Amino acid sequence: MGAIAVPDSAPLYLAKARGYFADEGLTVAIEPVQSAPHAFPALEGGALDVALVNYVSVFQAVSRGASFTVIADAYQAAPRTFVVMTSKDSPVRTMADLKGRTIGVASRRSIGSLTIAAALAAHGLGESDVKLLEFPLPEMIDKLRQGIVDAAWLTEPFITQGTTTGARIVQDMAPADGPTAGLPVAGWGITKAYAARNPRTVAAFQRAIGRAQRLAATDRKAVTDIIPTYTRIPPAVAGVITLGTFPTTLDAKRLQRVADLMRSHEGYLGEGVTVDVDSILPTRAEGS
């Protein structure tokens, strides 16, 4: 199993720690991966069987002809799980004030830049009206302080860390309403070839991860207790960070929102390309 060291992965670690995989007869080794794009070659080459994949990246891969399927949902945005922040003395007050300025993002053509594009559009701007600079998230607060970027897209625990240094939120990227409200973030992906060869293993994984998703969805302490065991987030910070939600169903209509949002902003899918999410979901998602 390929997992990224972020809160999104918590149910995987819960499932292993609580014996849910063992209950299904599965022996699981968890391998850290840097990002979904890094996981795709490992999935295709067989080094990984299952990996946490963000939906923006997986839909881009599918639009280019990759043969992936998502077998369980993992994580969904909630208010203040993704934000754009600026330094405390910055003149920037709204997204409109960022015209002609620089915004730090972990990567272009990602969920970060997609939510920025949606927020800019609400102010009559596009991505071409700002300059996006890529930096690792752990470096972003320093880039703000040094004036290298005028604003930065951040997720937890960096939002909490930024707040403690005086950084200020300009815009919630996943507010309670609007095009990015409750935006699906990530799920568990495999190749269609693996799914065809191993239907029983896939079903067992779905049942185990489904139990863990239900636990994560109802027990915040279980999540915040497990996060420090596989990330660099200390327990004191894990206890106060803002978490997204852990969906317990795999719903094509909900995920289609991401693909449709990508299509509405230039550069996320090829010209005239659409992604039908139904076509990349299993016919029956037993454990999700």
At residue 283, the pLDDT reads 63
At residue 266, the pLDDT reads 87
Answer whether residue 205 shows pLDDT above 90.
yes
C-alpha–C-alpha distance, residues 172 and 181, integer Å: 10
CA dihedral 282, 7, 248, 53 (to 10 degrees): -10
Answer whether residue 284 shows pLDDT above 70.
no
Tell me whether residue 35 is exposed, middle or buried, using C-beta atoms within 10 angstroms of its C-beta: 0 to 12, 13 to 18, 19 or more: middle
Q: For residue 13, which amino acid is it?
A: Y
Mean pLDDT across the stretch 89-102? 97
Q: Could you give the residue ranges of the DSSP H alpha helices within 32-139?
A: 36-45, 55-63, 111-121
C-alpha–C-alpha distance, residues 191 and 70, integer Å: 9
All residues at 6 or more sequence positions from 170 whose CB lies less than 8 Å from its CB, including other chains: 83, 84, 85, 86, 92, 93, 94, 95, 97, 98, 151
The residue with tokens 């040094």 is 146
The pTM of this model reads 0.90
At residue 233, the pLDDT reads 93
Answer whether residue 202 shows pLDDT above 70.
yes
Residues belonging to the chain: 288
Domains of the chain: residue spans and CATH:
2-77+182-280 (3.40.190.10), 82-172 (3.40.190.10)
**Above pLDDT 70, what percent of the chain?**
98
| DSSP H helix total and E strand total for the chain | 12, 10
Task: Name which of 189-203, 243-257, 268-282 the model is least confident about.
Answer: 268-282
Tell me whether residue 42 is exposed, middle or buried, using C-beta atoms within 10 angstroms of its C-beta: 0 to 12, 13 to 18, 19 or more: middle
Instruction: List, for residues 121-178, the tens digit of each pLDDT value.
Output: 999 999 999 999 999 898 999 999 999 999 999 999 999 999 998 999 999 999 999 9
